[in-house]
Structure 1
Amino acid sequence: MNPEDLQRLLTMAMPYGKYKGRMIADLPGQYLNWFAREGFPKGELGRLLALMQEIDHNGLSPLLDPLRNSRN
Structure 2
Amino acid sequence: MEIKPDSKELLELAHYKMPFGKYKGRYLVDLPLPYLVWFQQKGYPEGKLGKFLNIMLTIKDNSLEPMIRKLQKEFPRQSS
- Residue 67 of structure 2 aligns with an amino acid whose one-letter code is L
Report deviation, 1:66. Answer: 2.3
- Residue 19 of structure 2 aligns with an amino acid whose one-letter code is P
* Rg (Cα) greater in structure: 2
| Alignment partners' CA distance in 1, 2:9 and 2:29 | 11
C-alpha RMSD of the superposition: 1.7
The structure, 1 or 2, with the larger RCO (C-alpha pairs under 8 Å, 6+ apart) is 2
| Alignment partners' CA distance in 1, 2:60 and 2:67 | 10
Find runs of 4+ consecutive structure 1 residues off by over 3 angstroms. none
Identity %: 41
Aligned to 1:49: 53
Aligned to 2:17: 13
Which structure has greater helix proportion? 1
TM-score (ref. length: structure 2): 0.77
| Aligned residue pair count | 72
Aligned to 1:23: 27
